[in-house]
Amino acid sequence: MMTRRSRTHPPTLVTLVTRALEDEIELARDAHVLCAVSGGPDSMALLDVLATLRRRLRFSLSAHGVDHGLRPEAAAELEIARGWADELGVPFSTTRVAVAAGGNLQARARQARYAALQKARRRLGADVIATAHHADDRAETLLIRLLHGASAEGLAVLPPRDGDLIRPMIRAQRSDVLSHIARHRIPFARDPSNDDPRFVRVRVRKEILPLLAELDPSIVPHLCALADELAGLRDGKGPVYPIPRVARLALARLAREPDGSRRTVLLPGGIQAAKKKKPPQAFGPTTAASAAEQRRQPASR
């Protein structure tokens, strides 16, 4: 007798973003999300996924692009983003900033971009800004900080949520993003600076990470797990993830279960967590005294 083998497929980008929004970012119902979009593959994929989830998770969505004034192609790339946003029914706006040429260009462009996004968030009345960082970006950033001699606190990079900044794709890898782009035929533009070896991040992405991946294909998840463990150090509170992330997410899902659910979560040390039924409401002192008084009184005739 032949038995059919069960097939397991990796979670889709939509599933990974849903889990992040519900279990880690804890996006409030009816929140207004401003999605930062450049026209590149990562931000275009994020815009598409958020547009897919906005009704299911009950949030409103706008998109905003920032032209740094550094490349003449940037305006055309933002028009690609505008066209896709229009097709998705997402309001889209842009800001043009001036970033002077000089040293540390990427860092200064990033500061100008976030300042413009914050201004747009306040103008539109949005609650949070969603950026398209994914797990590979997080691993790259950790390695760059390590190369620059950062402390343990400095390695706690790109958490899923940082104030009014959220990163819904932070549990997805670059391959998940590109698969989503190809599957849904999403248009995008490529920024040539992402292939310029003059930038440290490009060399980390194209030289160091591939070498580490040859030694261990799970290097990106490992580096992200390290960033998770160190996340609380930025505020001087110690690690905020004392139990494995898988168990934390399972506990978050358990908390949403109805009282008395049979689901259990296995924690370190063999401890099992379960959600018990609420005990029946006991009489308080006043209620109990009132009931006793009623018993002492004769029945009315």
**What does 147-216 look like in DSSP terms, one character per residue?**
HTT--TGGG----SEETTEE-TTTTS-HHHHHHHHHHHT------GGGG-TTSHHHHIIIIIHHHHHHH-
Model confidence at 207: pLDDT above 90: yes
The pLDDT of 262-277, averaged and rounded, is: 63
Residue 137: predicted pLDDT: 97
Q: What is the mean pLDDT of the chain?
A: 84
- Report the distance separating Cα 20 and Cα 145, nearest Å: 24
- Report the distance separating Cα 240 and Cα 187, nearest Å: 39
- DSSP output for 48-60: HHHHHHTTTTTEE
Model confidence at 10: pLDDT above 90: no
Domains, the chain, with CATH or none: 13-254 (3.40.50.620)
For the chain, the maximum distance between any two Cα atoms, rounded to a whole number of angstroms, is 98
Residue 1: predicted pLDDT: 45
Decide which of 232 and 90 is more confident.
Answer: 90
Angle between helices 41-53 and 74-88 (to 10 degrees): 20
Residue 9: predicted pLDDT: 78
Nearest to 279 by CA among 256, 252, 300, 259: 259
pTM here is 0.77
pLDDT in tens, 38-57: 999 999 999 999 999 999 99
pLDDT in tens, 19-41: 999 999 999 999 999 999 999 99
